[in-house]
Amino acid sequence: MTLQSLNKKIMLVVPPISSVTRPSLGVSNLKSAAQRAGFDVSIFYACFDYAEWIGVDLNQKLAEGTRSDLLIGEWIFCDNIRTQPITGKYLNYENDVLVPHEDEHFRDTIRALKDGSEDYVERCAEIILAQEPAIVGISSTFHQHCAALSIARKIKERRSDIIILLGGANCEEEMGRATADLFPWIDYVFSGESEVTFPHFLNLVSQAVERGTLDVERDLADSKLGRKFWDYTMAPPLAQMDDLPIPAFDEYFARLSKSTFRHRVQPALTFESSRGCWWGQKHHCTFCGLNGHTMSFRAKSAERVLSEIKYLSDTWSIHDFAASDNIIAMHHIQQVFDKIPDNSKDRFFYETKANVSEDQLRRLCRAGVTWIQPGVENLSDRVLKIMEKGVSGALNVRLLRLCAEIGLVPTWNYLVGFPGEEDADYVEALDLIPALTHLRPPGGAPAQLRVDRFSPYFTGKAKDLFDVVRPSKSYSYIYEFNDDSISRLAYFFDGFSSRIISGDMLKELSNAIDRWQREYWSTGPVLAGVRIADGMIVRDTRGIATEEVFLLGPDEVALVDSLRNPKTFDFSNRSSFEEKGVSAECLQSLLDRNVVVKIGQQYLSLITDESRRLRTRGELADQPAGYLLSATTRTEAQAEAIA
């Protein structure tokens, strides 16, 4: 590999399969960081070309509408990185992996995409080579690895002098080392945060070129450039989040404006106000694998967050922001969101914890936060303790009620399969769910626990709770390597334990959640209270309702108000109620109506107080993380305005 000049372009590539509804934050940060260091960098959104190739709706389904651990995107492109003929088990992916989860029509579609993948890779490489780049860096996150490797291989076959870099979440730590070891056409692999290491690498290359022709294998084996794997040890990690440049979204919007589907895309701006997880630093959730070396929580200053939001919104005339933060920085609620003007059009998506206070939720809502991901993953106290979530089932339901009441959308999944759980842990949920149908249900069916790399279930003592942990079976159909190598490449693992929910109980829970979802989305049930002078009029249209409209008296309203947050009473000890000013008969009346429920040892009101509402459900139809409109929703003129 030789290089005479670094005057040519440095190109960063966003490969398939990726949503076209948001720019890539990672490569946008890298472009800005490299440009600040004096280098000419461009971004090629190859994922747009692929969406044009296969159709934007199919691309969006592949990017965000299929199970990640099926590795469908990897299977589509994996033939292009093989060195051996395709035989034996590699032909059985469809029957063994897809058939249980996808219908025949979709499987036929995926097979056609696989057959055409080589043509796409050829075309993509031609577009890149036509720009005559000196360095090509390709991003790999989620199921982009085989596409990234395929494009890199084709470029290397055509132009061996081009330096090929690979980075992104799929290259974190051991996965990146394995990629560097197993795919010889990749020159360098970057792991973790690269806003410092990438410009540092470019400076070293530039200095080497200035000294003469760069030949890594011959001249630089004992230098930093002779090391193929680049992580945080190669340059100091980012110390201050405010040192990050503003991400460069130029190429994303330029490419969107030229796309045939531009009128279909409601784009969002990806941005970050923090990195790491402050909760994970204290109590790493047993199943969470989102942070490898980067658990340490760091936040941008309030001034920087506010100025960045304004700059991005003013520059691109986009008001939807999808925060990449693992968890919101709590001090930003006061220091950032309280300072967003009341007339702002900006809307935000954020991840939070479920024990965020009502006051904090209301402040977020007033500032434009419309969707949150609060980490509600189960409703059983005992299972939540196993997960080390730091919340109770009642707190999770309280969060769902507050969101319904205030006007926020909580997006969440119901997780099961944690070693040590028992069927008894889910009996209470089966009884509880019919009372919750006015609250937003989880998305999809209960999801079996997946062991992700970097989670305590993979890296810590918690791993011993499983009988067996091995890479998700999809990997064995994708890569032609031995089990050890596949284990190094894999992010998704299956954990097998005999001490989890039974199949019969899982079926019961799935059916209960399915009924919840169907009732919520078909009839839009409510359990809403309107205050009057001497009480509260309650309207209850849940399937479990005993009466559609009824009146609560002053004592009942006082108890409902006291149970807006979970409380514990000793129901068998009448004096414990009287000491707290609570009538046992009053509480029983509310329990009989299913407007107050007992979850674990805590009691909680389910009534949404209409006097506390900030937004209506109808105003929340559009989520702020980017999405596709139906083919007839947006006109060409509206699309041109965005462009």
pLDDT at residue 5, as a whole number: 56
Residue 577: the pLDDT is 58
What fold does the segment set 2-243 form as a domain?
Rossmann fold (3.40.50)
Q: What sign results for the dihedral spanned by CA atoms 558, 563, 567, 568?
A: positive
Q: Which of 358, 355, 291, 298 minimizes the C-alpha distance to 332?
A: 298
Model pLDDT, residue 642: 45
Per-residue pLDDT reduced to its tens digit, 226-267: 678 888 777 666 779 999 999 999 999 999 999 999 999 999
Stated as kind and residue range, the H or E segment containing 597 is strand 596-599
Residue 233 has a pLDDT of 76
Domain ranges of the chain: 2-243, 527-612
- Residues 20 and 265 sit within 8 Å (Cβ to Cβ): yes
- Using CA atoms, how far apart are residues 102 and 408, in angstroms rounded to an integer? 32
**Mind listing the pLDDT tens digit for each residue in 75-116?**
999 999 998 877 766 678 998 999 999 999 999 999 999 999
Please provide residue 485's backbone torsions phi and psi, each rounded to the nearest 5 degrees.
-65, -40
What's the pTM value of the predicted model, to 2 decimals? 0.92
- The half-sphere exposure of 163 on its side-chain side, counting CA atoms within 13 A, is 26
pLDDT at 210: 76
The rounded distance, in Å, linking the Cα atoms of 170 and 77 is 15
Which regions in the chain score pLDDT beneath 70?
Answer: 1-8, 88-90, 212-224, 226, 235-237, 570-581, 617-621, 632-643
| pLDDT score, position 283 | 83
Alpha helices in 184-301 (DSSP H): 197-211, 216-219, 250-258, 278-282
